């Protein structure tokens, strides 16, 4: 809800532009955003076909909510985790995109 207000009703436009500016392209592993999954959905559009976008959030409830919202988006996946302790080897990600999360670190 906060992001909808913070972006003045332009969240989809802002997230679509952020995905475009991220450099993510089809066939690349993609980005690891999450929250409600809105940005992950935009990143899915940017990296498919062939990319593997993944949304990360520390909350099981938020992950489930994001999964429900993206149920009709093949390739849009989510996992529970925190940015400081991702279970992935170094250099696993081509692009990492975040919005409204740096204050949580």
Query: Does residue 5 contact residue 70 with C-beta atoms inside 8 Å?
Result: no
pLDDT digits (tens, 9 = 90+) for 34-43: 566 777 877 8
To the question of domain 13-96 being in CATH 3.30.450.20, the answer is: no
- Predicted local distance difference test score (pLDDT) of residue 3: 57
Q: Which structure tokens are listed for 4?
A: 């909808």
pTM: 0.59
Q: Is the peptide bond before 49 cis (omega within 30 degrees of 0)?
A: yes
pLDDT digits (tens, 9 = 90+) for 62-101: 889 889 888 888 888 888 888 778 788 888 888 777 776 6
Ranges of each domain in the chain: 13-96
On the 0-12 / 13-18 / 19+ scale of CB atoms within 10 A, 66 is buried
């Amino acid at each position: 809800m906060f992001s909808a207000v913070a972006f003045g009703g332009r969240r989809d436009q802002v997230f679509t532009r952020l995905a475009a500016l991220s450099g993510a392209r089809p066939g690349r592993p993609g980005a690891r955003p999450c929250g409600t999954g809105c940005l992950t959905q935009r990143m899915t559009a940017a990296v498919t076909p062939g990319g593997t976008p993944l949304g990360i959030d520390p909350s099981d409830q938020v992950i489930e909510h994001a999964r429900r919202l993206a149920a009709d988006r093949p390739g849009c996946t989510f996992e529970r985790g925190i940015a400081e302790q991702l279970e992935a080897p170094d250099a696993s990600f081509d692009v990492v995109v975040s919005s409204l999360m740096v204050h949580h670190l």
